[in-house]
Each structure stands twice: as structure tokens, then as C-alpha cells.
Amino acid sequence: MEQNKKMAAAPSQTILFIILLHIFYIFVPSHQYHPLDSLTPSEFSQIRSIVTKAYPESSTHKLTFQYVGLEEPSKQTVISWLKNETTTNPPRQAFVIARIDHQTHELIVDLSLQEIASKRIYSGYGYPMFTFEDQENADKLAFTYPPFVASIRRRGLKLEEVVCESFSVGWYGAEEEEGKNKKRIVKVMCYYMNGTVNLFMRPIEGISMTVDLDEMKIIGFQDRVTVPVPKADETEFRESKIKPPFRQSLKAITVVQPDGPSFTIDGHMIRWADWEFHLSFDVRAGMIISLASIYDLEKQQSRRVLYKGHVSEMFVPYMDLTEEWQRRTFFDAGEYGYGLCSMTLEPLRDCPPNAVFMDAYFAKQDGMSRKIPKAFCIFERYAGDIMWRHTEATIPGKTVREVRQDVSLVVRTVSTFGNYDYVNDWEFKQSGSIKVTVGLTGMVQVRGTTYTHKDHMEEDVYGTLVAENSIAIHHDHFLTYRLDLDVDGDANSFVKSKLRTTRVNDRRSSRKSYWTVDSKTAKTESDARIKLGSEPAELLFVNPNKKTKMGNLIGYRLIPEGVTGALLSSDDHPQIRAAFTNYNVWVTAYNKSEKWAGGLYADQSHGDDTLAVWSNRNRSIENKDIVLWYTLGFHHVPYQEDFPVMPTLNGGFELRPSNFFESNPVLKVKQPKEEYSP
């Protein structure tokens, strides 16, 4: 801030600073400045200075930073830079979504020129993602609001043991609309501790408040019903507080790498085995993997697989229709921020002993940076898995056995949205595969009830009775990934191959049937929408301009780990907003601006700016730069084992080379040096 004051007071110093900044961006070594690097704390400070200078605050003029992220150079610009086809670094820019006097402003801030390059006011449906400050300030309002205090006292609860949380409100049709200027609001509902830190197991039902986030005041209050607050008994999850008896302890286990890790980190570039890729962070997307390439030993060159991949949106609808619950249809990335909710990882618990950690940074509501220590961990994984093996026992008098250990590289983050924790892994394998997994753990959402035993229940309670007075509600988790595949180049096609049963009607075989493969290349976006699970299929992304020596198109295929589809009706308002979950697979023509499957403004969105809408343009996708969108999902019917904390439930998918190499790429992988613990 002091530097900004001096610059404002001394124009000559400002000009000199801008000249030096230009020199920095032109001549800084490439290993220090990569065009896809995350924004740095100093850059956040510069962005804040530029924007606040353009929009100075006053007693009647309020400015908040709702989103600050890298405005990436065009794809072709980045590729040209990587090929050293340009002598200068691409311009360094940021995309800012700010709320200024109750309006949403979109700004492109040019850090090279130290100015706002473009600006517009958004007037459509929906609002930008919440900041921590939005939620924290809204939650605090309850404790100075007399009707709420009276309701807590009437229930015989201690106000100092109450914790409140903000919930997005969604959208439920024209009947509740007040035009495009509807207020930016949240619902605030509360929990009770008093003997436990597992507050999500002790909801205070029936009380809800509506908060106007721009005015930061309560504009609605409801105290509808009174049901018992579930007991604190048996809700503790901290090891130091849990009462014995305990399960038998396992003996010590660790990972030993006496020679250190096999990967290197150069800025944000990570290199391991034959892989290299760029790792960055975004406050909405969280972890971003870019420029993933693998070295082909036979061709003696590095070959691109993935230009960019990240979580695009997460849809979590609950199936409870009671007053305080029916609006719980969350868009966790677009409303709360998959990156904003990233947690500091705990060494030896979240990550193994051989892990290396990296920090992440984001802009707070005031524009200043905040650090997330140990937001990423990178480690090599060996869990006794086998990469490949064979025993040749048919040679008379001789047995030949060959085995290779499967060692892979993992990049991990954890995002926590209130009660749920999501463990996010990107795993790179020496075989050329990329495995993406997400693990669900944390606490299920429970609703307080009068019921204490299942035999007493006479109505649809929308969930499972997991403890006395505690119903864990049925719900879904849908994570949609944006995967900009560049399989050995950016001109790709999508081929769907169905496995079809064929009857044998002639005498060529004594068999009655066999199956064959029917392949079809998708011409347009509508051809590429797929609901998985109804029939076996191979989903292949090929470069139609390149073939192997055998004449096969080189490619990568998508292998889903499990298939879950949307069950809500298509005319249900939450599903209209989340229409990107109507299909498991979408393929669209590349468009830099199409990042967020649920739309740029997810909070109170109307479904008019989603992947489903973009796909209706039905653009050509054959031999084009195309993007794969894959949705993995979980229908979660809770069980008593999910109480009071849920064991991790995993799902994911694999991108696997398919005629990408001429032969098995790990045939020549050497056995790692063996190291045995005493």
C-alpha cells in the first residue's frame, strides 16, 4: 500500500516502474515466468492497486473482489511460446469479477501495462461465487438479531455454543422472480456444539434467515418448527477425544526413498519418468493440470496428451423437500469455489512421508492475497501393484518369470465444503495413462427429527435414520471435468465404438455368436452426447492425421471407473441449472471462454449459460480442436457406517493410450532400486 501511495504522488516513479515491469516480462528467464503460472501475491497486489485506482471506494461506493484469476493467453500463443517461435513473453493479464455498487463488473487487468484493458457490466441472471468474507459476515449477523436470539433461548440452547452456516438459494422458476435485479442472498441455518466439535451432526431445525449479501443485513426470518437437537453422544471423531476401547493398532508403515524423489519441480513445471506437465491453482477450479506430455522413447520426442484439465463444476442436490432443505442444490465450484475451499494438507496423514508440498494463493474480498500452505502434495506411489508380469511355464524344464512394479506419480489436493471433504488425485503412470480420482469423506448432512427408531417412522423422511433424532439425507455428487485433450496435436476426433453381439447363422463355426466392434466418428456436438451404462462402448479420442506403423489412428480412450446418471426430472429447476449432468460425456469445439459447465455465474443461475446450451450450437467436432467433458457421479444413500464420519468413497476415470505408441511403452522400464526396511 505504501508503494502505491508513492506511485500516486510521483508520476515519474510510476512511469519508471512500468518501464521496469516491461523489461521484466520481456527478459525474465522462461523458467521463472510461464504464461500459465498462477497469479502471485505481488501480482494480486498490483491488480488490487489498478482496480481500486479506477474505482476508488467512498462511504457510498463499495468494491469487492469476488473472483481474481489468470486471463490466459490464447492457446496458439502459448504453443508458439513453448516452441520458441516468439522472442517475447505473452502479456500477463488477470480476469477480475468485482461487485461495485451492487453491480457485477468484468475486468481484464493488464499487468504488463498496469491498466484495465477491458471492462463491462454483467446484467444477466446469476451472481459470482461467494467469498469467505461474504459467508463469515452473513453468519455473524444471526447473533445480533433479536428474533434469532429469542428462538435459541426458547429452545433452551446456549447462544455461545451455536455455529451458523450460509447456504446458496438456487432458483425455482418465474413465480419467485423479481426481474434480473433480484437480490444476491443466502440462507443462514445453524448448528449446536455443546459437547462436540462435530457440529454437522447437531442441526438446529426450523430456524432460517435470509441475508442480503450486498447490504449485509437480514431481510427474512423464519422459526417454523421445533424438533429435538440430536445428542452430542458418539459424534466425536478426534482420536485424542474418543473414549476406549480402540481397535488393535497396526505396526509402523512408511515409504522409503533413500535417494530422494525421482521427480523434479521447476517453477510450476513437474517432470517425472517420461512425463512433464504444468501445475497451477485457481480459486474456482482448484488444481489445474496443463501441457501434459509424455516422451516417446521410440520416436525420441515428447508428445502432447492434454492441454488443460480441471474440475469445471460440482452439483450436489439433496432429496429432502422440507422447508429448510429443499433449496440445498449446491454448485460447489461456481458458488463456493473448489480452490477457495482447498485445505492445508497434513504431512504423514493426508500425504505419505515421501511427499513434497507446494503452497497456493488467492485474492481475498479486499483484493489482497491469502496463502494456503501445503495446498498441493506431490509424491511417488508404490502400493505393491503390478505394472505388468508374465510367467512362462510351458517351456520344458524351464520357468521364466518377469515382473515390473507399478510406480506412479500423484498430485493431490483436498477441498472441504462445510461437512464434506473431497480428496482429489491426478495420477500419472509410466504406461502413459492419467488416472483422475476423487474421494468423498467428512460428514453426511443430517436433519433433526423426532424419530429414534426406524420402526416408528410413518412418512417419507428422505433419508436413513443413522442415530437417534438424526436422519442422513439422500443426495448426489456430480463432478464435471473439463479435459482439453490434444492427442499428439490439437486436431482430434471423437470415435464411439459399440460392442455388438452378432449371431452366427451359417456353418463357418459351431459357435452361435460373437461380438464385434462398430465404430462411428462423431461429426457434430450432438453426435457426441452419451449416457453411459446402457451398452458397452469404447470412447476414443484420435488424431485422424496420424497413424501408427500398422495403420491405426493414434489415440487415447476414456475409461470410466463407474457410471452414475442424473435422476431428477429434466423440468426440475435444479436440473435445468445442472443440465450439464444430463449426459456423462459431452464433446465440444474448443472455445477459450467455455470453462465452467454450470456457467460463469452459478449462484442463482437459470441454466441459460451452461455446457448443455453451448452444445446446442452443434458445432463441427471432426478433425478439430475439441474438448471432452466428463461427469462422474455418486448417488449417496447413507448408512449407519457413515456416522459420525464417513469412510472415504472413491470414484474416477482413466485416460489411457490406445494405439498412441507402437508397442508397450513400459517394456523397457527398469526395476526400481530395491530398498528393504529392517
Q: Are 517 and 538 in contact (CB under 8 A)?
A: yes
Backbone φ and ψ for 461, nearest 5 degrees, come out as -100, 5
- 503 Ramachandran zone, left/alpha/beta (phi>0; psi -120 to 50): beta
Q: Does domain 2-119 have CATH number 3.10.450.40?
A: yes
DSSP three-state, residue 343:
coil
Active site residue 451: no
pLDDT of residue 88: 82
Q: Are 443 and 436 in contact (CB under 8 A)?
A: no
Q: Are 539 and 496 in contact (CB under 8 A)?
A: yes
Long-range contacts of 259-264 (CB under 8 A, 24+ apart): 259/673, 261/354, 261/356, 261/379, 261/380, 262/380, 263/356, 263/378, 263/380, 263/409
Written as nine digits, the cell of 141 is 449477523
What lies within 8 Å, CB to CB, of 673 at 6+ separation is: 259
One-letter amino acid for residue 42 of the chain? S
Active site residue 420: yes
**How far apart, in Å, are the Cα atoms of 237 and each of 199, 206, 230, 642, 646?**
11, 26, 16, 12, 10
Same topology, domains 132-223 and 264-658? Answer is no
> How many angstroms separate the CA atoms of 255 and 408, rounded?
14
Q: Which position among 192, 318, 420, 481 bears the catalytic label?
A: 420
Written as nine digits, the cell of 91 is 502479456
Tell me, letter by letter, the H, E, C secondary structure of 212-263.
Answer: ECCCCEEEEEEECCCCCCCCCCCCCCCCCCCCCCCCCCCCCCCCCCCCCCCC
Fold of 264-658: Beta-galactosidase; Chain A, domain 5 (2.70.98)
Q: Are 541 and 493 in contact (CB under 8 A)?
A: yes
Kindly give the parts of the chain with pLDDT less than 70. Answer: 1-32, 58-60, 175-181, 675-678
pLDDT of residue 19: 43
- The whole-model pTM stands at 0.93
> How many angstroms separate the CA atoms of 76 and 590, rounded?
12
Half-sphere exposure of 479 (CA within 13 A, CB side): 25
Sequence spans of domains, the chain: 2-119, 132-223, 264-658
Q: Which position among 139, 282, 332, 603 bears the catalytic label?
A: 332
Nearest to 597 by CA among 586, 243, 572, 433: 586
> How many angstroms separate the CA atoms of 89 and 596, rounded?
27
Q: Give the class (CATH, top level) of 132-223.
A: alpha beta
